[in-house]
């Protein structure tokens, strides 16, 4: 692994980590497709944004780290990817959960913003889901974001470094890493 202080250091949060987080959430997501109380579409799309690609420095499309569709798009009754991307765009731009922007930060809204719940900003990680009722989309997005933090922590541990869980945040740098004692 490159030195974290070098210009060539690779982030631990990458598309593979996002893919792992979504894979860990898949049993829950797949089970929800058949539950009409969760949503009637039986479909879902998840978008994970790259926290290393800041608003204003990257186009939205270039900042998408990973996307996943359930089931195949041929079975969709609407363009859930469009809705998930719209929610992700708003939350990526504002840093506020999409369902909260209109209520708490209406001054940040722009023409064309998608005002639907389902995207979350958690410790600099933005994840959106669409296909279920908004409150479930938001819950699923929050689960994927939490699993993404865990996947990054897993990588960090595998590298032999330990940082207290409370210190892992993409909004601030972690304290100096110390070797992890192996038991």
pLDDT of residue 178: 40
Rg of the chain over all Cα atoms, to the nearest angstrom: 17
Q: According to the model, what pLDDT value does residue 9 have?
A: 63
Domain map (residue ranges) of the chain: 15-179
The class level of CATH for 15-179 reads: alpha beta
- Lowest mean pLDDT of 100-109, 124-133, 158-167, name the range: 158-167
In this predicted structure, the answer to whether residue 171 has a pLDDT above a threshold of 70 is no
Quick one: tokens of 79?
């363009």
- Count CA within 13 A, CB hemisphere, residue 79: 5
Task: Order the strands of the 64-70 sheet from edge to edge.
Answer: 64-70, 44-49, 125-130, 119-122
CA gap 15, 179 in Å, rounded? 26
Question: Alpha helices of 33-113 — where are they, by DSSP H?
Answer: 60-63, 80-94, 98-104
- Which pLDDT band, with edges at 50, 70 and 90, does 177 fall under? very low
What is the pTM for the complete model shown? 0.83
Residue with the two structure tokens 């669409």: 130
User: How far is the C-alpha of 98 from the C-alpha of 122, rounded, in Å?
Assistant: 12
pLDDT category of residue 165 using cuts at 50, 70 and 90: low
Model confidence over 56-81: pLDDT tens digits? 999 999 999 999 999 988 889 999 99
Q: What is the pLDDT of residues 31-61, one digit of tens each?
A: 999 999 999 999 999 999 999 999 999 999 9
């Amino acid at each position: 692994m490159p030195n974290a202080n070098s210009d060539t250091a690779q982030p631990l949060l990458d598309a593979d980590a996002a893919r792992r987080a979504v894979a860990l959430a898949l049993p829950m997501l797949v089970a929800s497709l058949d539950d009409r109380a969760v949503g009637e579409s039986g479909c879902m799309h998840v978008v994970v944004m790259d926290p290393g690609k800041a608003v204003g420095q990257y186009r939205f499309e270039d900042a998408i780290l990973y996307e996943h569709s359930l089931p195949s798009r041929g079975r969709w009754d609407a363009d859930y990817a469009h809705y998930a991307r719209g929610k992700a765009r708003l939350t990526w731009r504002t840093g506020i959960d999409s369902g909260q922007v209109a209520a708490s930060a209406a001054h940040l809204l722009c023409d064309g913003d998608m005002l639907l719940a389902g995207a979350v900003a958690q410790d600099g990680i933005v994840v959106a889901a669409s296909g279920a009722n908004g409150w479930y989309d938001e819950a699923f997005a929050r689960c994927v974001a939490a699993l993404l933090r865990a996947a990054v922590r897993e990588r960090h541990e595998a590298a032999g470094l330990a940082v207290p869980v409370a210190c892992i945040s993409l909004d601030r740098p972690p304290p100096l890493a110390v070797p992890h004692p192996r038991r």
